[in-house]
Chains A and B, each alone.
Chain A
Amino acid sequence: LAKTTQPISMDSYEGQEVNITCSHNNIATNDYITWYQQFPSQGPRFIIQGYKTKVTNEVASLFIPADRKSSTLSLPRVSLSDTAVYYCLVLSNTGFQKLVFGTGTRLLVSP
Chain B
Amino acid sequence: KAGVTQTPRYLIKTRGQQVTLSCSPISGHRSVSWYQQTPGQGLQFLFEYFSETQRNKGNFPGRFSGRQFSNSRSEMNVSTLELGDSALYLCASSSPGQGAYEQYFGPGTRLTVT
Chain A interface residues (CB < 8 Å from chain B): 31-32, 34, 41-46, 49-51, 91-93, 95-101, 103
Contacts and interface: CB of A to CB of B under 8 A. Distances in A.
Given A50-B99, A97-B101, 10 more contacts: A32-B99, A34-B102, A41-B108, A41-B110, A43-B107, A91-B99, A92-B100, A93-B99, A96-B33, A98-B56
Main secondary structure, interface of A, reads loop
Nearest to A90: B100
Contacts of A96: 31, 33, 48, 50, 55-56, 94, 101
A45 B110 CA distance: 17
Most buried by B among A31, A42, A45, A98: A98
Interface residues of B, number: 30
Main secondary structure, interface of B, reads strand
Given A32-B99, A51-B99, A42 B108 contact: yes
Contacts of B11: none
B28 interface: no
Contacts of A43: 4, 90-92, 105-108
A98 B48 contact: yes
Given A32-B100, A93-B99, A99 B106 contact: no
Contact of A42 (B33, B42, B99, B107): B107
